[in-house]
Amino acid sequence: MEKLTKYERVRMLSARALQISDNAPVYLSKASKEPNSVRLAEAEFKEGKTPLKVVKNKL
């Protein structure tokens, strides 16, 4: 996986946190009862389980 910029990382985490807060399924290996959607999104990102990807245009 290519290294993400800090802007791409924040955009990905915020979009995923919004999805989780709207009752999207959480893809973590451990069952977590964490009520904070931002922390759940960060945990998914650290495990590489985020169902989002960044598409970079090559010029």
Q: Which residues constitute the domain of residue 20?
A: 6-46
Q: Does residue 17 form part of some domain?
A: yes
Q: Which residues contact 8 (CB under 8 A, 6 or more apart)?
A: 54
Q: Which pLDDT does position 1 carry in this prediction?
A: 53
Report the distance separating Cα 16 and Cα 37, nearest Å.
Answer: 8
Q: Cα(first)–Cα(last) distance of the chain, in Å?
A: 19
pLDDT of 14: 96
Asked if residue 54 is part of any domain, the answer here is no
In a domain, 26, yes or no: yes
Buried b (16+ CB within 10 A) or exposed e, 18-30: ebbeeeeebeeee
Mean pLDDT in runs of 10 for the chain (59 residues)? Answer: 86 95 89 85 92 86
Specify the pLDDT at position 11: 95
Phi, psi of 13 (to 5 degrees): -65, -40
Domains identified in the chain, total number: 1
Kindly state the DSSP code that residue 50 receives in the 8-state scheme. -
Asked whether residue 25 is domain-assigned, the answer is yes
Residue 41 lies in a domain: yes
Residue 16 is predicted with a pLDDT of 95
